């Protein structure tokens, strides 16, 4: 079984790359550039996928560790709220309140909720009940303090279905009741009766908390959830229930802090004790992940992102969605797109599997192209063997990694200098959240000469107080580096900072006034100037362009654009144009078919001109899907389905009248042509003909004039045509459904060209 078949059968795969197969591809000429002339190995796809999995796994593990660290505090708070839901309560309440924990995360991060589930599973186990020695110890081991039940909108369409999911979700779990009671269906409680859950909980022998997760809470029917919460509130605290609401939208404003408070009435909220917890989201978390994955001095990814990819991520995160899951999907697509190129098989040049494959005879042409790239000319006199070429690739890899480490160190130094010298508040929120992220593309393009000069001048003007802040922070950065290689390469910088700190005098007791800065002593001026000059030289030496390295396209995406067509749900503009103007598409198709016919069978140009009157067709003359799409583009973001249907029905009634009128005209013309002399028919006045065409009031029946059976048939036909056109638009991705309003759909495409 090939790797493609294995990937397709793996249910955990979200992205699978299927390479094109060229059976008649000729061997290209040996030239140093471009990509399309690379000749891939016979098993190049399988080899690259092995390397891709290694590189992507390394990146994914790093991202997941960062996300876990960011979400750890939220998961710990949820676990604390659950375990203390019935202990830390306000005394003197008139009635017990149902504990509800609303966890909001933009985009509904699955990693956050998965970490919460793991944290609840790690709650300490209750001690076995030694008061009942007749029970075996094995039956008393599974005694968790928290028992979980996960509910989804599809399982809770009605109140009965939701209560059944709540009850059976706990009762059907094995291993909690050591001596299950035999139930008789005729005398037992119904599986949707909460009293059955209370009986099961009493039979446990101890009192664990029952946690009910409501995933995708915005998609639940509010009326169903409202009734379920009321029923559950009647059985607490005898039944220690705790609800955890997984919200995908963060609080919007203090007056309407969450979807829960905005949707549910006050009498329902009065029964609840709501704890609002918001996970990290927005562009800030995207910046944190990108910084610590690709620009952390202690971590070295196999593939470095280029400026165009970073520009797309910044734009997508600030304009559309800034969720963790979306960022992981984008990074995975970048990695998959990068490993399409045959040369990326050398991402790990020292791998034994790659080295053994490149020594084969059928890899000679690939190695010839690689040799031309290394030597810089396809007509080089030196002819390197495979081992020599691989050694050159390894040398190029080491040089690229060294320059990439220098870029990462320089970027972190610039962040420290900006925070101290320019007093930039990185936690200000808003646009400041992505200030460092927006600075990354210029860093990779090597366009920071003006910024470096500005930072150097700002450093030269620092006071002794700020120098005492800047130099220790720089020293702490270099001293706390975990990478031994980076510490060895930046040893001179650390020694320079230590020297400047030793020469720096102690600050005076009089604080500096903002309006009237104190005059700096000559020693401070000299040290600040030396620090500014060293900082400028250090940043200029480390700020290099990575695409200028030899074979940098193996480990660097460079100026390769992001494959945005893979995540953009909007249909292609040609599909939109075809829906708006189907007559032009049909006409072009007919002309294409006529062009492929023999010359004798083609119609004359006069016949084509006669058929094409050059007028724009009326709305009622268009297909049903086009009629519905025309009404769709005139609506707003939310489309009311009933209003959409009514506008569609009006056009179809107009279409029906026009068609009946044309049929009556044809019948009348046929009767007159058969009874009247040809001369009389030819002498008919054009004015009279036009008047007959316009006179439709007496000839055409109105829908109200039809009998009841015909009206019913016509109504069913209109509904069927509407549903078919609606399903076609839904299938092509123009609309998406919302759980908040069942009679509304959301537009998935904007800025429709006309």
pLDDT recorded at residue 682: 47
Segment of 136-140, 265-269, 614-618 carrying the highest mean pLDDT: 265-269
Break the chain down into helix, strand, coil percent, rounded to 5: 55, 5, 35
| Predicted confidence (pLDDT) at residue 137 exceeds the cutoff of 50 | no
d(CA 419, CA 113): 34
Please tell me the predicted confidence (pLDDT) of residue 722.
Answer: 92
- Sequence-distant (6+) residues with CB within 8 A of 377 are 32
Least Cα distance to 178 among 127, 135, 128 occurs for 135
Q: How many CB atoms lie within 10 A of CB 354?
A: 19
User: What's residue 98's pLDDT?
Assistant: 92
Q: What was the pLDDT predicted at 534? A: 92
Alpha helices in 504-636 (DSSP H): 522-542, 573-580, 582-595, 605-611, 624-633
Q: Which residues contact 569 (CB under 8 A, 6 or more apart)?
A: 733, 748, 749
Mean pLDDT of 658-674: 84
User: pLDDT at residue 36 above 50?
Assistant: no
pTM here is: 0.67
Stretch 38-52: mean pLDDT: 79
| pLDDT(678) > 80 | no
Q: What is the largest CA-CA distance in the chain?
A: 120
Q: Is 207 exposed, middle or buried (0-12, 13-18, 19+ CB in 10 A)?
A: middle
Closest CA to 241 of 191, 193, 198: 198
Q: In the structure encoding, which two tokens stand for residue 130, read together? A: 């030694």
pLDDT at 154 exceeding the cut of 60: yes
Residue appearing with tokens 């709650």: 123
Per mean pLDDT, which range of 17-26, 454-463, 708-717 is the poorest?
17-26
- Give the mean pLDDT of 59-87: 90
Give the number of other CB atoms < 10 A from CB of residue 325. Answer: 17
Bigger pLDDT: 579 vs 403: 403
Hey, how many other C-beta atoms are within 10 angstroms of the C-beta on 701?
A: 13
Identify the residue with better confidence: 47 or 163: 163
Tell me which of 508 and 61 has the higher pLDDT: 61
Higher pLDDT, 686 or 264: 264
Beta strands in 435-503, from DSSP E residues, in sequence order: none
pLDDT at 448: 81
Report how far residue 705's alpha carbon sits from residue 95's, in angstroms, rounded to the nearest whole number: 64
- The answer to whether the CB of 109 falls within 8 A of the CB of 324 is yes
Mean pLDDT throughout 215-234? 91
- Which range (261-270, 321-330, 427-436) has the least confidence? 427-436
Looking at 70-74, 436-440, 453-457, which range is the least confident one? 436-440
Pair type for strands 744-747 and 209-214: unpaired
Given pLDDT bands bounded at 50, 70 and 90, which one contains residue 690? Answer: very low
Per the rule left: phi > 0, alpha: psi between -120 and 50, beta: everything else, 735 is beta
User: Contact 532/459 with Cβ under 8 angstroms?
Assistant: yes
Contacts of 52 (CB under 8 A, 6+ apart): 335, 336, 339, 344
Q: State the average pLDDT for the chain.
A: 78
pLDDT at 751: 58
* Per-residue b or e along 660-689, where b marks 16 or more CB atoms closer than 10 Å to that residue's CB: ebeeeeeeeeeeeeeeeeeeeeeeeeeeee
Determine which of 123-127, 315-319, 491-495 has the lowest per-residue pLDDT on average.
123-127
Q: How confident is the model at residue 718 (pLDDT cuts 50, 70, 90)?
A: very high
Is pLDDT above 70 for 412? yes
Q: Over 90: is that where the pLDDT of 133 sits? A: no
On the question of pLDDT at 675 being above 90, the answer is no
pLDDT digits (tens, 9 = 90+) for 727-738: 888 887 788 777
Q: 457: part of which helix (H) or strand (E)? A: helix 449-460
DSSP designation for 446:
T
8 A C-beta contact, residue 31 and residue 378: yes
* Higher local confidence (pLDDT), 648 or 431: 648
606-619 mean pLDDT: 65
Classify strands 209-214 and 241-247 as parallel, antiparallel or unpaired.
parallel
pLDDT band at 331 (very low <50, low <70, confident <90, very high): very high
Residue 375 pLDDT > 50: yes
- Tell me how far apart the alpha carbons of residues 35 and 26 are, in angstroms, rounded to a whole number: 15
pLDDT in tens, 554-569: 999 988 888 877 776 5
Cis peptide before 665 (omega within 30 of 0): no
pLDDT band at 94 (very low <50, low <70, confident <90, very high): confident
Which of the two residues, 573 and 210, has the higher pLDDT score?
210
> With 80 as the cut, is the pLDDT of residue 604 above it?
no
- What band does 134 get if pLDDT is binned at 50, 70 and 90? very low
CA-nearest of 484, 136, 441 to 308 is: 441
Query: How many Å apart are CA 408 and CA 291, to the nearest integer?
Result: 9
Structure letter (DSSP) for residue 747: E
d(CA 716, CA 694): 30
Cα-Cα-Cα-Cα dihedral sign, residues 459, 465, 469, 474: positive
Task: Look at residue 130 in the predicted model and tell me its pLDDT.
Answer: 40
The answer to whether the beta carbons of residues 714 and 706 sit under 8 Å apart is: yes
Delimiting residues of CATH 3.40.50 domain(s) in the chain: 84-281
Q: Which of 79-93, 213-227, 257-271, 669-683 has the lowest mean pLDDT?
A: 669-683
Nearest to 421 by CA among 366, 474, 483, 498: 474
Q: pLDDT exceeding 70 applies to what percent of the chain?
A: 75
pLDDT score at 255: 52
DSSP 563: -
Beta strands in 146-227 (DSSP E): 146-151, 209-214
Return the closest-CA partner of residue 51 out of 389, 307, 299, 350.
350
In which band, very low, low, confident or very high, does the pLDDT at 533 lie, cut at 50, 70 and 90?
Answer: very high
Q: What is the pLDDT of residues 445-504, one digit of tens each?
A: 888 888 888 888 988 888 888 888 999 999 999 989 888 899 898 899 999 999 988 888
Residues 459, 471 contacting (CB under 8 angstroms): no
Q: What percent of the chain has pLDDT over 90?
A: 20
Please give the CATH number for the structural domain made up of 84-281.
Answer: 3.40.50
Tell me what pLDDT residue 518 has. Answer: 58
- Residue 482: burial class (beta carbons within 10 Å; 0-12, 13-18, 19+): exposed
Res 187: pLDDT: 56
Locus of tokens 């035999």: 182
Question: Average pLDDT for residues 540-556, to the nearest whole number?
Answer: 88
Higher pLDDT, 604 or 635: 635
pLDDT tens for each residue of 156-186: 889 999 999 999 999 888 666 555 555 555 5
In this prediction, residue 7 has a pLDDT band, given cuts at 50, 70 and 90, of low
Cβ distance 224 to 157 under 8 Å? yes
Q: What is the tens place of the pLDDT at every residue in 226-240?
A: 999 999 999 988 999
């Amino acid at each position: 079984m090939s790797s493609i078949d294995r990937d397709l059968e793996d249910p955990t795969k979200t992205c699978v790359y299927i390479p094109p197969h060229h059976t008649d591809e000729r061997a290209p000429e040996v030239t140093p550039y471009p990509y399309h002339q690379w000749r891939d190995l016979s098993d190049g796809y399988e080899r690259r996928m092995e390397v891709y999995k290694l590189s992507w796994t390394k990146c994914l593990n790093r991202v997941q560790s960062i996300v876990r660290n960011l979400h750890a505090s939220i998961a710990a708070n949820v676990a604390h709220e659950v375990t203390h839901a019935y202990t830390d309560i306000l005394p003197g309440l008139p009635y017990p309140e149902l504990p509800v924990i609303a966890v909001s995360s933009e985009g509904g991060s699955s990693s956050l909720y998965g970490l919460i589930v793991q944290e609840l599973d790690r709650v300490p186990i209750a001690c076995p009940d030694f008061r009942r020695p007749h029970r075996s110890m094995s039956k008393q081991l599974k005694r968790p303090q928290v028992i979980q039940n996960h509910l989804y909108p599809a399982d809770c369409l009605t109140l009965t279905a939701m209560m059944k999911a709540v009850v059976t979700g706990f009762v059907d779990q094995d291993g909690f009741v050591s001596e299950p009671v035999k139930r008789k269906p005729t005398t037992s409680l119904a599986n949707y009766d909460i009293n059955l859950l209370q009986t099961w909980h009493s039979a446990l022998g101890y009192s664990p908390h029952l946690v009910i997760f409501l995933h995708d809470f915005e998609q639940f029917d509010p009326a169903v959830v409202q009734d379920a919460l009321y029923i559950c509130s009647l059985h607490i605290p005898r039944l220690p229930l705790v609800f955890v609401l997984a919200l995908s939208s963060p609080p919007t404003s203090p007056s309407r802090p969450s979807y829960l408070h905005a949707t549910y009435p006050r009498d329902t909220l009065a029964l609840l004790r709501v704890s609002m917890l918001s996970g990290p989201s927005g562009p800030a978390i995207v910046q944190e992940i990108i910084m610590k994955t690709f620009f952390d001095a202690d971590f070295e990814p196999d593939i470095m992102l280029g400026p165009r990819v970073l520009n797309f991520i910044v734009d997508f995160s600030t304009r559309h969605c800034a969720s963790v899951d979306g960022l992981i999907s984008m990074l995975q697509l970048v990695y998959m797109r990068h490993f399409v190129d045959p040369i990326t098989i050398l991402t790990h040049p020292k791998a034994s599997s790659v080295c053994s494959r490149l020594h084969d005879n059928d890899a000679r042409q690939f190695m010839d192209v690689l040799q031309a790239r290394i030597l810089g000319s396809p007509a080089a006199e030196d002819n390197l063997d495979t081992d020599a070429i691989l050694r050159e690739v390894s040398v190029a890899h080491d040089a690229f990694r060294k320059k990439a480490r220098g870029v990462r160190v320089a970027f972190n130094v610039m962040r420290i200098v900006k925070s101290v010298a320019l007093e930039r508040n990185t936690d200000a929120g808003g646009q400041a959240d992505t200030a460092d992220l927006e600075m990354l593309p210029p860093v990779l393009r090597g366009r920071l000469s003006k910024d470096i000069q500005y930072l150097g001048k700002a450093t030269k003007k620092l006071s002794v107080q700020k120098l005492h802040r800047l130099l220790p922070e720089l020293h702490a950065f270099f001293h706390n580096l975990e990478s031994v290689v980076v510490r060895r390469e930046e040893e001179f910088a650390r020694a320079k900072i230590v020297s400047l700190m030793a020469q720096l005098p102690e600050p005076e007791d009089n604080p500096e006034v903002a309006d009237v800065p104190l005059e700096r002593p000559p020693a401070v001026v000299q040290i600040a100037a030396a620090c500014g000059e060293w900082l400028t030289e250090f940043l200029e030496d480390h700020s290099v362009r990575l695409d200028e390295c030899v074979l940098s396209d193996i480990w660097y995406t460079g100026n390769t654009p992001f494959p945005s067509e893979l995540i953009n749900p909007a249909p292609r503009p040609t599909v939109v144009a075809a829906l708006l103007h189907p007559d032009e598409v049909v006409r072009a198709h007919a002309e294409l078919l006529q062009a492929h016919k023999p010359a004798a069978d083609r119609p004359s140009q006069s016949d084509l001109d006669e058929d094409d009157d050059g007028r724009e067709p009326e709305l009622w003359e268009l297909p049903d899907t086009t009629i519905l799409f025309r009404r769709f583009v005139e609506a707003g973001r939310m489309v009311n389905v009933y209003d959409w249907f009514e506008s569609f029905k009006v056009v179809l009634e107009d279409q029906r009248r026009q068609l009946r009128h044309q049929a009556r005209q044809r019948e009348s013309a046929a009767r007159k042509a058969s009874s009247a002399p040809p001369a009389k028919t030819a002498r008919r006045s054009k004015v009279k003909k036009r008047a007959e065409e316009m006179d439709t009031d007496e000839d055409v029946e109105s829908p109200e004039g039809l009998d009841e059976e015909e009206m019913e048939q016509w109504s069913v036909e209109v509904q069927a045509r509407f549903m078919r056109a609606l399903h076609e638009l839904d299938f092509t991705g123009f609309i998406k459904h919302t759980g908040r309003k069942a009679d509304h759909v959301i537009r998935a495409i904007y800025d429709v060209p006309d």
